[in-house]
Amino acid sequence: MAASLEVAYIFRRHGDAFRQAHAGHLGRVERRIMGAITACRTAALGGHVEQCDDCGTTRVAYNSCRNRHCPKCQGSARLQWLADRQAELLPVPYFHVVFTLPALASGIAFQNKAAVYAILFRAAAETLTTIAADPRHLGAQNLAYNIRRFVWLRTKYAAA
Ligand SMILES: [Zn+2]
């Protein structure tokens, strides 16, 4: 079985060059995350012995970094979150609609999260209800929706 490409492998192979190329733009947090992902499940973090409760078989495993940005450590949490969301779905068609704030409003939203997101959620709900009720679209009198806030931040590297 071929090994899959991992972020840790890319960091190990190209991390030093990346750090040097972006030395002026990489902060302490980004460097710490890269270090955690690189060290995750390697001898650098030590290890532990796992034992099966049924048969007593033991194995030595390297410790995890437990960093919230680590794809290995958060992989099972992500899969569980997806399974939980899929369990909530009804057997009906779903539509994914995205509402975004203009870039100029991002500073206001950052400083006034509760107020701005309350306005955005209310406007999104009213828009969906209005459009769905229109006979040219769904003509629906009852509409169920689930609004979630996702924050998309452009990194400072996007233009590089
Ligand atoms: Zn990890």
Count Cβ atoms below 10 Å from residue 36 Cβ, excluding itself.
21
Q: How far apart are CA 117 and CA 123, in angstroms?
A: 10
**Averaged pLDDT for residues 96-100:** 87
**Averaged pLDDT for residues 26-37:** 93
CB 145 within 8 A of CB 128: yes
Q: How far apart are CA 30 and CA 107, in angstroms?
A: 22
- CA nearest neighbour of 40 among 68, 77, 17, 81: 68
In the reported structure, the alpha carbon of residue 24 is separated from the centroid of ligand 1 by a whole-number distance in angstroms of 26
Task: Evaluate the CA torsion angle 67, 68, 70, 73 in order and state its sign.
Answer: positive
- Say if residue 35 is in the same domain as residue 53: yes
In the reported structure, the alpha carbon of residue 65 is separated from the centroid of ligand 1 by a whole-number distance in angstroms of 4
In the reported structure, the alpha carbon of residue 48 is separated from the centroid of ligand 1 by a whole-number distance in angstroms of 15
- Counted domains in the chain: 2
In the reported structure, the alpha carbon of residue 139 is separated from the centroid of ligand 1 by a whole-number distance in angstroms of 48
Burial class, 5, CB count within 10 angstroms (exposed 0-12 / middle 13-18 / buried 19+): exposed
- Say if residue 77 is in the same domain as residue 117: no
Asked which of 89, 112, 141 is the last residue of a domain, the reply is 89
In the reported structure, the alpha carbon of residue 30 is separated from the centroid of ligand 1 by a whole-number distance in angstroms of 14
- Say if residue 56 is in the same domain as residue 4: yes
Average pLDDT, the chain: 86
In the reported structure, the alpha carbon of residue 39 is separated from the centroid of ligand 1 by a whole-number distance in angstroms of 8
**Model-wide pTM > 0.95:** no
